[in-house]
Amino acid sequence: MGDYKLSASLPGHEDDVRSVAFPHPSFAISASRDATVRLWKLRSENPPTFDYEITTHGTAFVNSLAYVPPSSEYPEGLIVSGGHDSIIDVRQPSKKPDDNADALLLGHGHNVCALDVSEDGKYIFSGSWDQDARIWQVGKWESSTVLPGHTGSVWAVLSFDNKTIITGCADKAIRVFQINGKLVRTIQTDAVVRALCRLGPNHASGAHFASAGNDAVITLWTIDGHRVSQLHGHESFIYSLASLPDGRLFSAGEDRTARIWSHQQCLQTITHPAISVWSVAVCPQNGDIITGASDRIVRIFSSAPGRQADPAVIEAFNDSVKSSSIPQQAIGNINKEKLPGPDFLTQKSGTKEGQVQMISETNGNVSAYQWSTAANQWVNVGTVVDAAGSSGRKVTHEGKDYDYVFDVDIEDGKPPLKLPYNLSQNPYEVAQKFCADNKLPITYLDQVTNFIVQNTQGATIGQSTSQGGDPWGTDARYRPGDDQQVTPQEPSPRPKLLPQKAYLDIVTANHKIIFKKLQEFNQKLIDDGCKDIALNPSSMESLEETISLMEKGASKDIDPVGIDVILQIATAWPEDKRLPGLDLLRLLTASSEPATYLSEPPQTITKALPESGVFEASSPVNNTMMAVRSFSNLFRTEPGRALADKEFDAVQPLIKPFITSTNRNLIIALTTLYINYAVLLSSSPNADRALTLLDDLSRIIETATDSEALYRALVAAGTILCLGEEYCEAGRDVFDLGGAVTKAEQRVKEPRIKNVVKEIRELLQ
C-alpha cells in the first residue's frame, strides 16, 4: 500500500466545493456553493485528465451529493443533489442544466446538508437544517417518510444496510432507524455529529461504523451503540468520512487536511492549500480518493504510481501548500521567542503522522511544518500570519482560548449567553453551532451571524493569498444581505432579498422549565387563597400530559382539555404569572390541530387574548410580546393562516400602538408578524391591507433603532412593494418610504441594511 499522491487537480468551480462523489474510476461528481453540480469524466489515463460538464445549475448553494447506481429504469444511474433552496434535485448524468430533472423532491423546509443512497439503490436519504431526516423511494417521488426525534440540524445520514439508516445530528446524538422509519436506538455523543461512514465487514476493530464532528475526533461504534475506540489527529471540525472494505478510513476537516487511517493509526496527512477540506469520497473500485475544498478545487489522489500526476504537477501542488498562509488564530498563542529555529527540522523527528511543529525562520516568519511518516521528514505546510486589528490577547472560555467571548442577550430577564469566536472561524458556522448548542430557532441564524460580523469588523485575518480574508477560503462567502462576488474576475449578482417568500416562526422552547415554573406559580396561587383560578390536580395532570406531547412533537394528539387549561393560564391568571402560559400558547399556534381548535369560538385566540387585556398599555411588555409571537406562529399552518387572514382587521389595531416600542423583543415580534402578513398578501392580495401595513412599516422604519427589527421591517415593506407598481407609488408619494429608508440606513450601518435599502430604492424608482 503506497503513499497517496496527487492524481489530478480539477479547477472549474467558482466557489467552495462542498461535496464530492467518486462512483466509478471513469467519472466523479462535485457540488459547490457556486450553485452548480459538475460531472467530471476521465479523458486520458496517463497522466489522468478530466473534463467537466455542468449537470445542474440552481439558484442557491449546493451542499450535498449522492449517486444512485444504474438500474433497468435508470441505466446511467442518478445524480442526487441538495442545498440551500431545500429542494432535492434528481437527474440522469447525461441531462443538461436546462433539462427537466427526473424528480424534484419537496418536503424539507431548509438547507439540505446530507444525502445518501441505499446499497440496493432503492432509497434516498436526506438530512436538513429543518431538524428532519427523510426517506425517499426511488421512482416514487411524491412522498417521503420523516425520521422523527431530532432536535437540531441533521448533518449526516448513512445507509448502513438495506434495512437500517443512521443519522448524525447537531443535538449531539446518533440515531439508528429501521427502513420503515421506526427509531431503534439513540446514541449520545460528546459533540455535534457532522459525518458518518460504514466500515468494512470484519473491521479489525470490531466496529461497524464511524462518526466525527466538532470535537475533531473520529469515533468507532458497533451498531448497538458500543463505543469501540477513538482516533485522534485532526485539529478542528471533521466534516466528512469515507471508507474502503479493506479497513482504510478517510477523513477531511477544517484543519486543511485529508487523512488516511488504517488499523486505527493515521498513515498519511494530505494538507491542502485551503482553509477547509469540506468533503472526501473514495472510489470503491480502485481506492483513489477525491476531495473538495474551500479553494474551489476538486482534487484526486492515488496510491497507485500509474495513476499519479506528473512529478512536476505534484511538486507544484506541494509548493502551493508550502506558500499558503495559516491564520494565527487557527494555531493558538505563539511565543516567537521560544520557537526553535530551522535546525530543529534536521535534528529531531516527529512522534506521529501529521504532527505540526512551528519554526521561527531566519527571516522572522513563523512557518508550520508537518511530520510525514512515509517521507520520514518535516514538510512545510504554510506560513503563520497575524490578525490585523486584534490585540492578540485571548479570552478563556470553558478552558479554551478565543479572540472574543461575546455576551448575547436573547431574552429579557435572563442572563446573557456566551458566544466564543476566533477570527479564523467562519461566522456562519459559529452562529450555527451557537444556535444548536443553545437550542435557538434557525431564524436566529442570520441575526447571530451579523452580530459576529458587526462586532469583529476591522479585526480580520491579514493573509497574503487570495483566500486570506475569509475562513471559507474565498473572499466571496455568503452572509445574508452582504455584497458578494463569486470570483474576482467575474462578479456575480448578490442574491435578491426581496420579496420574502417564507413565513417566519419561533417554535423552540424548554418545556420542562416552563412546566416547573407553572407548578411554582400554581402552588403560589393556592397558598395565597386563589383556589378559584388555581389548577386542580386533574387540570395539572392534563397540563403535564399536554406539555409532554408538545415536547415530543405530537401536538396532533393533544386533548382540547389541555389547550383550554393553557388558555386559562394565559388569559385568566394574574398578569405577573401568565407568561409561561402565553409561552405555551405561542407553541400551540404553530401546530395544525391546536391552531384549528383555537380558531373556533368560544376559545378563538384572536378574541380571547385581546379580552384578557394583554394588548393594554398597562400589560407587562413580555406578555404582549408573547401574544404577538402567538399570532406570528399562526402562519406556520394552513388553518392558522386562515385565521390570521380572517382576523386581520381585528389584529392590526391591537398591535399598531406598539410599533414605536423601544422594547427589543416586542418590536422584533411585531416586525416578524408584519413580514408574515406581507408574505400572505403575495398569495392573497388585498390592497387596503397592503397599504395599512405599508403605513405602519414606514413608521417603524422611521423610528426603529434595533438592527434586527429594522431589517425585518424593511424586508416586510419591500415585500409589499413587490406586489405591484401601485404600492411603489404609494410608498413614494403617500408614505415617503424613500426618506424613511434613508434615515434608517444612516441610523444603522450594517451591510444587510444597506443591501435591502438598495433593493427598496430600486423598487421606488
> Which pLDDT value is given to residue 372?
81
Residue with cell 423610528: 703
Question: Helix, strand, or coil here: 551?
Answer: helix
N-term to C-term CA, the chain: 67
Cell of residue 321, nine digits: 501548500
- Least confident residue range of 84-98, 411-425, 480-494: 480-494
Amino acid code (one letter) for 760: I
What's the pLDDT band for 482 if we cut at 50, 70, 90?
very low
**Long-range contact list for 219-228, CB < 8 A, 24+ apart?**
219/189, 220/264, 221/174, 221/187, 223/160, 223/164, 223/176, 224/185, 225/174, 225/176, 225/185, 225/187
| Mean pLDDT, rounded, for 709-722 | 93
Task: Name the DSSP letter for residue 86.
Answer: S
- The whole-angstrom separation of Cα 483 and Cα 477 is 9
Strands of 283-425 (E only): list them.
289-293, 298-302, 325-327, 356-360, 366-372, 377-385, 395-397, 400-402, 404-408, 417-421
Res. 331: pLDDT tops 70: no
- For residue 360, what are the β-bridge partners? 366
Closest of 504, 507, 481 to residue 494, by C-alpha: 481
CA angle 240, 242, 244 (to 5 degrees): 170
Distance of alpha carbon 397 from alpha carbon 619, whole angstroms: 39
Is pLDDT of 152 > 90? no
Query: Which of the four pLDDT bands, split at 50, 70 and 90, describes residue 749?
Result: confident
Q: What is the pLDDT of residue 399?
A: 59
pLDDT on residue 167: 97
Q: What's the CA gap between 449 and 458, in Å, rounded?
A: 16
The count of other CB atoms within 10 Å of the CB of residue 98 is 6
Residue 729 is inside which H or E element, if any?
helix 725-733
Is residue 704's pLDDT more than 50? yes
Residues 161-184 have pLDDT tens digits of 999 999 999 889 999 999 999 999
Cα 444 versus chain centre, distance: 11
Question: How far is Cα of residue 221 from the mean position of the Cα atoms in its chain?
Answer: 26
What is the predicted pLDDT for the residue at 392? 38
Q: Residue 304 gets which letter from DSSP?
A: S
Has residue 454 got a pLDDT over 70?
A: no
Q: How confident is the model at residue 439 (pLDDT cuts 50, 70, 90)?
A: confident
pLDDT for residue 145 is more than 50: yes
CA–CA gap between residue 10 and residue 38 (Å, rounded): 11
Contact 31, 316 (CB under 8 A): no
Average pLDDT, integer, range 472-481: 27
pLDDT at 587 over 80: yes
Q: What's the pLDDT at 400?
A: 63
CA–chain centroid gap for 443, Å, is: 11
Is 70 exceeded by the pLDDT of residue 494?
no
Q: Which ranges of 19-109 would DSSP assign to H, the alpha helix?
A: none
DSSP class of residue 309? P
CA dist list (Å): 638 to 443, 596, 634, 683? 20, 9, 8, 13
Q: How far is CA 535 from CA 15, 549, 596, in A?
A: 59, 19, 25
**Preceding omega of 70 cis (within 30 degrees of 0):** no
Give me the pLDDT at residue 481, please: 33
Work out whether strand 154-161 and strand 164-169 pair parallel, antiparallel, or are unpaired: antiparallel
Closest listed residue to residue 30, CA positions, set 273, 198, 280, 238: 280
Can you tell me the mean pLDDT for 200-206? 89
Confidence of residue 473 (pLDDT cuts 50, 70, 90): very low
Report whether 23 contacts 29 (CB < 8 A). yes
Which pLDDT does position 436 carry in this prediction? 77
Percent over 90 (pLDDT), the chain: 55
The residue type at 579: L
Collapse the DSSP code of 569 into the 3-class scheme (helix H, G, I; strand E, B; otherwise coil) and give the result: helix
Specify the length of the chain in residues. 765
Can you give the pLDDT at residue 755?
86
Q: Is the pLDDT of residue 444 over 80?
A: no
3-class DSSP state of 439: coil
Q: Which residues pair with 392 in a beta bridge?
A: none
Candidate from 361-375, 485-499, 548-562 with smallest mean pLDDT: 485-499
309 contact partners, CB below 8 Å, separation of at least 6: 5, 6, 7, 8, 9, 47, 48, 317
What residues contact 587, with CB distance under 8 A and at least 6 apart? 507, 509, 550, 633
> What is the predicted pLDDT for the residue at 389?
29
Question: Nine-digit cell at 605?
Answer: 385566540
Helices of type H across 323-420: 328-331, 344-347
In angstroms, how far is CA 702 from the centroid of its own chain?
33
Q: Is 727 exposed, middle or buried (0-12, 13-18, 19+ CB in 10 A)?
A: buried
Instruction: Please list the residues that pair with 20 across neighbouring strands.
Output: 30
Q: Give whole-number Cα distances, 428 to 126, 327, 434, 633, in Å.
A: 22, 18, 10, 25
What mean pLDDT comes out for the span 100-124?
91
Q: What is the pLDDT of residue 493?
A: 43
pLDDT of residue 479: 29
CB 629 within 8 A of CB 586: yes
| Band of residue 47 on the pLDDT scale cut at 50, 70, 90 | confident
Among the ranges given (310-314, 322-326, 594-598), the one the predictor scored with the smallest mean pLDDT: 322-326
Q: Where residue 403 falls among pLDDT bands split at 50, 70, 90? A: low
| Helices 687-703 and 707-721, packing angle to 10 deg | 150
Round the average pLDDT of the chain to a whole number and report it: 85
Specify the pTM.
0.53
d(CA 673, CA 696): 12
* Helix H or strand E segment including 725: helix 725-733
Q: Which residues pair with 41 in a beta bridge?
A: 27, 51
Of 355-369, 584-598, 641-655, the one with minimum mean pLDDT is 355-369
**pLDDT category, 298, cuts 50, 70, 90?**
very high
* Closest of 253, 718, 237 to residue 496, by C-alpha: 718
* Dist. CA 711–CA 748, nearest whole Å: 9
Query: What torsion, rounded to 10 degrees, do the Cα atoms 630, 632, 638, 641 define?
Result: 110
Burial of 330 (0-12, 13-18, 19+ CB in 10 A): buried
Of 51-55, 358-362, 372-376, which range is least confident? Answer: 372-376
3-state secondary structure 659-696: CCCCCHHHHHHHHHHHHHHHHHHHHCCCHHHHHHHHHH
The residue that leads in pLDDT, 719 or 350, is 719
Residue with cell 373556533: 600
Looking at residue 480, what is its pLDDT? 30
CB 640 within 8 A of CB 595: yes
Domains contained in the chain, CATH given:
5-324 (2.130.10.10), 328-385 (no CATH), 395-422+425-455 (3.10.20.870), 496-642 (1.25.10.10), 659-765 (1.25.10.10)
Residue closest to 744 by CA, chosen among 723, 713, 722: 713
Q: Tell me the mean pLDDT in the region 143-168.
A: 93
Task: Say yes or no to pLDDT of 760 above 90.
Answer: yes
What is the spatial distance between Cα 606 and Cα 654, in angstroms, rounded to a whole number? 10
358 in Cβ contact with 333 (< 8 Å): no
Digit-coded pLDDT (tens) for 71-106: 999 999 999 999 988 889 999 999 988 888 899 898
What DSSP letter does each residue of 228-240 carry, written as one string? EEEEE---S-EEE
> In sequence order, which ranges of 81-150 are alpha helices (DSSP H)?
none
Q: Which residues contact 89 (CB under 8 A, 6 or more apart)?
A: 37, 56, 58, 79, 80, 81, 82, 101, 104
Provide the pLDDT for residue 355.
81
* Residue with more model confidence, 593 or 2: 593
Q: In the chain, what is the greatest distance between 2 CA atoms, to the nearest angstrom?
A: 89
Instruction: Write down the pLDDT at residue 187.
Output: 96
